Amino acid sequence: MCVTCGCGDDNGVRVATPGHAHDHQSGHPHPHAHHDHGATETIVLGERVLARNDLLAAGTRSRLAARGIDVVNLMSSPGSGKTSLLERTISEAGDLRTICVVEGDQETTADAERIARAGARAVQVNTGAGCHLDADMVDRALATLDPPDGSLLFVENVGNLVCPALFDIGETRKVVVISVTEGDDKPLKYPHMFAVADLVVVNKTDLLPYVDFDLGALEKAARSLNPRVRVMPLSVRDGSNLDHWYAWLADLARPTRTGTQEKVGRA
Ligand code: MG
């Protein structure tokens, strides 16, 4: 249950592997990690409170860090280009490091299927009435996804700029994607999201000549909430500045640069 917007707590959450037509309902979480990607799992998950969420997320983060897995929580409005960014990243950087993806949407397995077609292992979480992923959903998705040691895990959160900001899912970094068609005033309207971000990706810069979007105003608004946040304009469509994105991802794997507590212990 979302403690902020009051979305229902009786919604069924389903975790599914793409490419398979049949679902089966289960009243219980899947008890074991498994490697059979030929079956679709349907799991009904219960309510979790925020404190329990944070505890669970901390456990996920340290468990994955110990295995050298970096987790990027991608958040945005619907339609900003998160899935397209992932498709292109898999195709252009996927041979440097194994990429796995947890896809979050209220319904459909469309995005997990797109990721699978792009060549990465993916699992879909459908949140039903829910407006965000939480640590429990991600934890259960990981039991099915089973990312290998040393891999780069993206979690594409449910598209909205409100609730996902409030839920720790065990990520290494939080990335907000905004596209130039959305307007440069979004940081001021949705401050929580931009306040917690490690990186703001500004997508669809190829459309800048056709829209009223002031990159400088966007950067100023984002930094008014989060003075050290990095703002990274790029275009998934024409590829401009994607080298900055790939360099940022590569830095995640460098302990001296990331400075995460988890990695200090492994260095
Ligand atoms: Mg998507």
CA–CA gap between residue 23 and residue 41 (Å, rounded): 7
Q: What is the pTM of this model?
A: 0.84
Give me the pLDDT at residue 266, please.
39
Radius of gyration in angstroms for the set of CA atoms belonging to the chain, rounded to a whole number: 18
Ligand 1 centroid–CA 236 distance in Å is: 14
pLDDT in tens, 217-238: 999 999 999 999 999 999 999 9
Q: What is the DSSP letter of 73?
A: E
User: Are 143 and 26 contacting, i.e. CB atoms less than 8 angstroms apart?
Assistant: no
Decide if pLDDT at 260 tops 80. Answer: no
Decide if pLDDT at 77 tops 70. Answer: yes
Decide if pLDDT at 75 tops 70. Answer: yes
pLDDT in tens, 18-30: 876 444 333 333 3
pLDDT band at 6 (very low <50, low <70, confident <90, very high): low
Ligand 1 centroid–CA 77 distance in Å is: 10
pLDDT in tens, 149-188: 999 999 999 999 999 999 999 999 999 999 999 999 999 9
* Amino acid, res. 204: K
Ligand 1 centroid–CA 267 distance in Å is: 34
Ligand 1 centroid–CA 167 distance in Å is: 18
CB count, 10 Å around CB of 22? 7
Task: Look at domain 14-263 and name its CATH class.
Answer: alpha beta
Ligand 1 centroid–CA 131 distance in Å is: 14
pLDDT in tens, 84-139: 999 999 999 999 999 999 999 999 999 999 999 999 999 999 999 999 999 999 99
Ligand 1 centroid–CA 73 distance in Å is: 13
Give me the pLDDT at residue 264, please.
42
Interacting residues of 78 by C-beta distance below 8 A, sequence separation 6+: 159, 160
Ligand 1 centroid–CA 111 distance in Å is: 6
pLDDT in tens, 54-67: 999 999 999 999 99
Give me the pLDDT at residue 4, please.
53
Give me the pLDDT at residue 256, please.
52
pLDDT in tens, 26-54: 333 333 333 344 434 444 444 446 889 99
Give me the pLDDT at residue 10, please.
46
CA–CA gap between residue 161 and residue 212 (Å, rounded): 21
**Mean pLDDT over all residues of the chain?**
86
Angle at 255 between CA 252 and CA 260, to 5 degrees: 80
User: Are 71 and 170 contacting, i.e. CB atoms less than 8 angstroms apart?
Assistant: yes
Domain ranges of the chain: 14-263
C-alpha to C-alpha distances, 209 to 81, 185, 203, 205, 239, nearest whole angstrom? 18, 18, 14, 8, 16
